[in-house]
Amino acid sequence: MKICDKGYESSPFVVALYYGNAKPKNVNYYVGDFVEETTNLTNHGISVGEREHGFKIMAIVADSPARAFLKCVKGATAYYGCERCTVEVKTCNKRRVSSQLDCELRTKESFRDQTHQGHHLKDAKTGEFLVSPLLTIPHFDPIKDFPLETMHLLNLNVMKNLAEKWMKLEKNSHKPPVDKRQAFKELMSSISTGVTIEFQRNEFDVDDICHWRATQYSFLLLYAGKHCPPVRIG
């Protein structure tokens, strides 16, 4: 939470934490209190000291599975799972791919009206389409107010696929030469000893690269990659 006032210094702070033995199953139960309080704050504002401030949710930051849960829509791997447009993806070589680049974009209005029904989830018992409780928040945009994140789009998608092809797939004809791969292993091994505590993970076992976490792929892309030995592939 941040107050948009140039003369006021603030920092994010915890409002509430969820805990349990498993992921929540009912989105209405999970965000019910949040929606009620947010609606009240949006309608009436918030008082800080003797000043009144307007209130609006700028963004809900969540990873791909969490966004699908909160919005009551199908996941990113579904045929109509894209959160930004109405494209229907195809399956090719065990991957979901899109051959269209100019599909109709999703809007706040089309989402609320559930115009593209293939994107929305149905209740398993009644067969009716589910409606996200977040839509009751005034002025909330279920498209623009859910920014996409790099963890699934980039780190666990593009970087993971590239790393596996380069280092693990025996039948891949475009792997770097053995000496380049060995140099890469040695580089990552030497880097591990000098990674600072600001990074969540400091071990980079290249032989186990297909099981790396998102933060490790991110480190490879943003920091270690520029020090890797150059190689022409293809």
Which of 85, 110, 136 terminates a domain? The answer is 136
With 90 as the cut, is the pLDDT of residue 197 above it?
no
Per-residue model confidence (pLDDT) at position 190: 83
Residues 102 and 197 placed together within one structural domain of the fold: no
Least confident range from 6-10, 19-23, 124-128, 228-232: namely: 228-232
Q: Does residue 19 sit within a domain? A: no
Indicate whether 18 belongs to any domain: no
Of 18-32, 138-152, 191-205, minimum mean pLDDT range? 191-205
pTM over cut 0.95: no
Instruction: Identify the pLDDT of residue 143.
Output: 96
Q: Is residue 108 located within the same domain as residue 162?
A: no
Range of the domain at 169: 150-227
Helix (H) or strand (E) holding 68: helix 64-71
N-terminal to C-terminal alpha carbon distance within the chain: 48
- Which is more confident, 75 or 178? 75
- Judge if 41 and 130 occupy the same domain: yes
- Residue 84: inside a domain, yes or no? yes
Same domain membership, residue 155 and residue 123: no
> Do both 127 and 43 map to the same domain?
yes
User: Whose CA is closest to 132, among 153, 108, 150, 149?
Assistant: 108
Position 66 scores a pLDDT of: 93
Query: Percent of the chain beyond pLDDT 90?
Result: 41
| 172 assigned to some structural domain | yes
Domain boundary among 81, 112, 136: 136
**Residue 200, in any domain of the structure:** yes
Domain total for the chain? 2
Does residue 82 sit within a domain? yes
- Domain end: 113, 136, 159, which one? 136
**pLDDT over 70 (residue 171):** no
Query: Residue 162 — very low, low, confident or very high, per pLDDT cuts 50/70/90?
Result: confident
Residue 106 domain flag: yes
Q: Please check the confidence at residue 169 and state whether its pLDDT lies above 60.
A: no
